Amino acid sequence: MEDIFAVKRCNKIIIHGRRAGEHNHRPPEAAVWCRIADTRTRGFIGDGYDVEEDAVRVCHQLNAKSQVTARQS
């Protein structure tokens, strides 16, 4: 059976604010975070994950549950 959920790496831009009176502020930082995508709807499930291994673990759990549910139907 094909997996329904997949981990997708997404770009995250962190913008640093500036307080009143400050003239210089740090430039934005580019980072990566991971989300779990539903391949059927192309939507995302849950919140994003900063650590890819966490997203992969949850993705495997969701796929295992969906396969058990599909077999019972």
Per-residue model confidence (pLDDT) at position 66: 87
On the question of pLDDT at 70 being above 70, the answer is no
| 13 DSSP β-pair partners | 30
Number of domains composing the chain: 1
pLDDT (mean) for 44-54: 91
25 has a pLDDT exceeding 70: yes
Q: Tokens standing for 72?
A: 């019972």
Under 8 Å between Cβ of 44 and 36: yes
Distance CA 45, CA 61 (A): 13
pLDDT on residue 73: 60
Give the domain range for residue 21: 5-72
